Homo-oligomer: A and B are copies of this chain.
């Protein structure tokens, strides 16, 4: 298992972590001056500065991506909506290519309209079929341009609104259906916040193996957790056994970044410098 205690060369910052403090160009500079080599930016943050500007800044600062957030949200109430989602995912793949991302992370979506409090239908099995078809179609294109897709299982508490893929096993079953050859074109993003509780976590990480383990996201689970979305904890402040799970990941062949992704009203209220410095310290201390 890699020793993270003496450096942070395998630290990546998911830029949602400081999205309320800084624009993306500032985030990239603040990371670069701290020796943080990698980030995972969100599409809206990229748009706010300009795709080509960000691509240039990444090159200039020597910053790489650990993933690009995000494609997905495939289900829709009608044919036009399904087509629009496919078109949007194609654009996300193109942007990921422009930025040199190692993968496009997919938050697959679920009951259409549920995020706005008005689900167009209640049939989660239908949403799962639409997700499967949406990924299959997007995968055809992503293969052509060489952009791996990383399915991110989301916590079951977000099953209605954000993702109807809720366990690593379910994500891997879908990978096996759509990419039985384990070609590297389709895999998973293992975000500990979403999967830490799963009694089959170790088994499924082993099953995934190097070809499927495309991204690894860390934060912590607080007790109590006060909000279903924006109360993630800083590594070390909660109950997730971070070192143990990273051991499983590395035993299975994962050798990439540990990407810190913290949606937190608490941390968004701190100075960005404090957040990044804390991420570095915790990366060395507990990740």
Contact = CB atoms under 8 A, between A and B. Distances in A.
Contact of A122 (B166, B198, B225, B241): B241
A117 B238 CA distance: 10
Nearest to A159: B197
B157 A122 contact: no
Interface string A114-137: 110101001110001000000000
A223 B223 CA distance: 23
Contacts of A223: 111, 114-115, 117, 119, 160-161
Copy count, this protein chain? 2
Interface in A187-222: 196-199, 221
Interface residues of A, number: 33
Q: Is the interface of A mostly helix, strand, loop or mixed?
A: loop
A193 to B, nearest CB: 11
A274 interface: no
Contact of A228 (B157, B239, B241): B157
A198 B156 contact: yes
Interface string A226-264: 101000000000011100000000000000000000000
A228 B224 CA distance: 9
Interface of A: 111, 114-115, 117, 119, 122-124, 128, 155-157, 159-161, 164-167, 170, 196-199, 221, 223-226, 228, 239-241
7 contacts: A114-B239, A115-B223, A124-B241, A160-B221, A161-B223, A166-B198, A167-B199
